[in-house]
Structure 1
Amino acid sequence: MMRIGLILAGGQARRMGGIDKASAILNGRPLIHHVLERLAPQVDQVLISGRSDYGSGLTVLADRTDGPTGPAAGLHAAAKHLADVPDCGLITVPVDAPFLPLDLVERLCAGPLPAIAHAGGRMQPAFSAWTPVEVAAQLAHRPAGAGLALIQLARDANARTVAFENPGAFRNINSAEDLAAAEADVD
């Protein structure tokens, strides 16, 4: 199965004071570069759901008007983009998670899709694996322009849960304080 990574980089960054999270600097490099460094070796291709390629040269998928809003909009745009790719796994990660597991894709794709990561006693819905067909089926009867949480989408699809032991690998950088605290943890 071809594995496609999707970096969810379309957020509003309200808690970051309006700074685009993908461009926020962690130990001298933008967050998106940390995420790419960890995700790219695990997949066959990486796409970005957002407004820019951030100098990466990767394909950028804009939200579509015929789908949901929020993070599910990125998943919808990727599913439409990959509709003609047979046997494809679509793995989502957020742009603000520079410590994502190096075995994330292997573990999420080790069984039937969809699958969602679970760590630290909670679901991690931005870290999930889908097929474009499943995404299309889940969104087929939902109103365009409505918000849809990834956790709800995963529940509705009866996503398989994959337990991870290290909750720190799923830590998000949501504020300037989080960014400063993460400085000491970057390799």
Structure 2
Amino acid sequence: MKPIGVILAGGQATRMGGGDKGLLPLKGARVLDHVIARLRPQVGAMALNANGDAGRFDLGLPVIPDSIPGFAGPLAGVLAGMDWAAGQGAESIVTVAADTPFFPTDLVARLSAEGSGIPVLAATKGEAQTKSKSKSGLIRHPTFGLWPVALRDDLRAALNEGLKKVVLWTDKHGGREAVFPDENAFFNINTPEDLIRAEGL
């Protein structure tokens, strides 16, 4: 059974001046259209994690809000996806970011190859100031991961206790990394300048 795909779009986009980065135009479509096209063949079903008025999205996908109040970060979106997937009878979800249109077309296969029943994060080699590095020096991309639905109550408890950092929770559960060769694959659009660069990519 393929994992369920959950697109994380619950952030506040402060560096872009607010709004939904996924709805920005990119090469004749919206950023989210590119994300959906890459994810759809890799998963069994899809949902969008977003807060606020769900009617602003016309994507033909279920829109699920965070269940933890106050913009608790990407893990709140992961939990919302887990809860929704549990109702679908799924054992795991794969999350991708709504502002990252170039992620690998074999993302799910490579995450799944690292094991089941544990969280698996996408990672690349290289230098970056804003990404989370593992002990091995890999740059982890914590919005791109495979998440076992069975861990949802543990995640809920951790978030209610104030947890924000993704890797603190994944490391606690024996999380692993799937290493991808192209760091540009996880290029995300945070600023107007990033959107211009994405047009070039």
- The TM-score with structure 1 as length reference comes to 0.89
Structure 2 unaligned blocks of 5 or more: 127-138
Match of 2:135 in 1: none
Alpha-carbon separation, structure 1, partners of 2:191 and 2:69:
31
Asked whether the equivalents of residues 79 and 152 of structure 2 are also in contact (C-alpha less than 8 Å), the reply is: yes
Offset of residue 85 of structure 1: 4.4
Structure 1 ranges of 4+ moved more than 6 A: none
Match of 1:29 in 2: 29
Alpha-carbon separation, structure 2, partners of 1:48 and 1:69:
17
Moved more, 94-103 or 113-122: 113-122
What amino acid is aligned across from residue 39 of structure 2 in structure 1?
L
Alpha-carbon separation, structure 2, partners of 1:175 and 1:36:
21
Q: Over the residues paired in the alignment, what is the CA RMSD in angstroms?
A: 2.1
Of 127, 133, 143, which aligns to 2:144? 127
Offset of residue 151 of structure 1: 2.3
Of 112, 120, 124, which aligns to 1:109? 112
Q: Deviations over 1:19-70 (max 9, x none)?
A: 3111111112111111001011100101100033721110111111479811
- The TM-score with structure 2 as length reference comes to 0.83
Match of 2:100 in 1: 97
**Residues 133 and 66 (structure 1), Cα distance of their counterparts in 2 relative to 1, 3 Å cut:** farther
Alpha-carbon separation, structure 2, partners of 1:153 and 1:93:
18
Alpha-carbon separation, structure 2, partners of 1:106 and 1:139:
27
Match of 2:72 in 1: 69
Match of 1:39 in 2: 39
Match of 2:85 in 1: 82
Matched residue count: 184
Q: Tell me the percent identity.
A: 37
Match of 2:176 in 1: 160
Secondary structure at the counterpart of residue 77 of structure 1? helix
Structure 1 unaligned blocks of 5 or more: none
Secondary structure at the counterpart of residue 104 of structure 2? coil
Asked whether the equivalents of residues 118 and 161 of structure 1 are also in contact (C-alpha less than 8 Å), the reply is: yes
Asked whether the equivalents of residues 68 and 146 of structure 1 are also in contact (C-alpha less than 8 Å), the reply is: no
Q: Deviations over 1:113-169 (max 9, x none)?
A: 3211111340111110011112322333x2528351222222222211111111110
Match of 2:132 in 1: none
Alpha-carbon separation, structure 2, partners of 1:155 and 1:65:
21
Alpha-carbon separation, structure 1, partners of 2:66 and 2:110:
28
Residue 9 in 1 paired to residue 9 in 2?
Answer: yes
